[in-house]
Amino acid sequence: MTESKQKVIDLCDKLMQVSPMQIVIDLVQDEIEDRVHSNDVTPDEIGALCYQTSCLIEVYNPAITDDLKYLEDIYCALNKWLSDAEFANKALGLDPNV
C-alpha cells in the first residue's frame, strides 16, 4: 500500500471526529471508502473521486469551515494517490499513452 493511499484511509477513519454534514458522510462512506479498500481500483476511479470531491467543495457552504477543511484535505490526499497510481501504471507499462 502506498503512503498516499494510507493517507486517504487515515482521513476516512477520522471522518466522525469532524462531525460533518450528511453529504460529506455519504461521499466518504459510500464512495471513497468503498474504493480505498479495494485492491483493483483504477486511476480513472480515483480521478472520479477527485472530481466528486472538488464539485462538493465548490458548492459547499463556506460557513462550515471544519467540513471544508476536511474535504480539502481528502481532496489533496486523493490527488496524491491518483498521481502515484498514474506514475505506477506508466512505470509498469500499463499506460496506453506511453
pLDDT tens profile 9-64:
999 999 989 889 999 999 999 999 988 888 888 889 999 999 999 999 999 999 99
Number of domains in the chain: 1
Distances (CA, A) of 53 to 30, 48, 94: 13, 9, 26
Please state, in angstroms and rounded to a whole number, the distance separating the CA atoms of residues 14 and 85: 23
Mean pLDDT, range 82-86, rounded to an integer: 88
Residue 97 pLDDT more than 50? no
Residue 40 pLDDT? 83
Within 13 A of 19's CA, how many CA atoms are on the CB side?
1
pTM confidence score: 0.84
Residue 41 pLDDT? 86
Evaluate whether residue 95 is within a structural domain.
Answer: no
> Which range of residues forms the domain containing residue 57?
3-90
